[in-house]
Amino acid sequence: MNRLTIIGNLTRDPEQRTTTTGSTVCTFTVAVNRRSRRDAQGNQPEADFFRVSAWNQLGDTCARYLAKGRKVAVVGPVSVHTYQGSDGQTRASLEVMANDVEFLSPRGEMEGDSGYAAPAAAAPVAPAEPASVGFTAVETDELPF
């Protein structure tokens, strides 16, 4: 069984395109921090980067609501692709074909061009009525306790 679950942040805005057969695909990269490991300077945690492809309706939803910096959980099979880097070194890239994408960032967090709509402005609140309206004054001497 080949099934990977990752939780991380998008490194850039997703890109959506349509194939020659009419299917849509949305691609984005997720950075997953490693636990308790720091870079050589001890500043940033080390991270692994996964390319993610989401197809058809899932891809449309990802393209609409995700943006750089958003936190997501992605589940799907992983594959390794090798390529020749510009320096002549052979490199590997991990790609996940998303079966499920869970949006983990709250709607109000990092708003901007992310596709999330800002909450509508609240209607003005009418001034509150005095607290005594609807109540009858009672003498404390009349209370049985």
Q: Where would I find the H helices in 49-122?
A: 56-65
Cα dihedral 36, 52, 89, 42 in deg (nearest 10)? -20
CA distances to 79, 86, 97 from 56, rounded to whole Å, are 20, 33, 12
At residue 12, what are phi and psi to the nearest 5 degrees? -160, 170
Closest CA to 68 of 8, 7, 19: 8
What tokens were used for 15? 């890109």
Domains of the chain: 4-103 (2.40.50.140)
pLDDT in tens, the chain (145 residues): 899 999 999 999 999 999 999 999 999 999 999 876 555 666 777 889 999 999 999 999 999 999 999 999 999 999 998 989 899 999 988 899 999 999 998 876 655 444 444 444 444 444 455 555 556 666 666 666 5
This prediction has a pTM of: 0.67
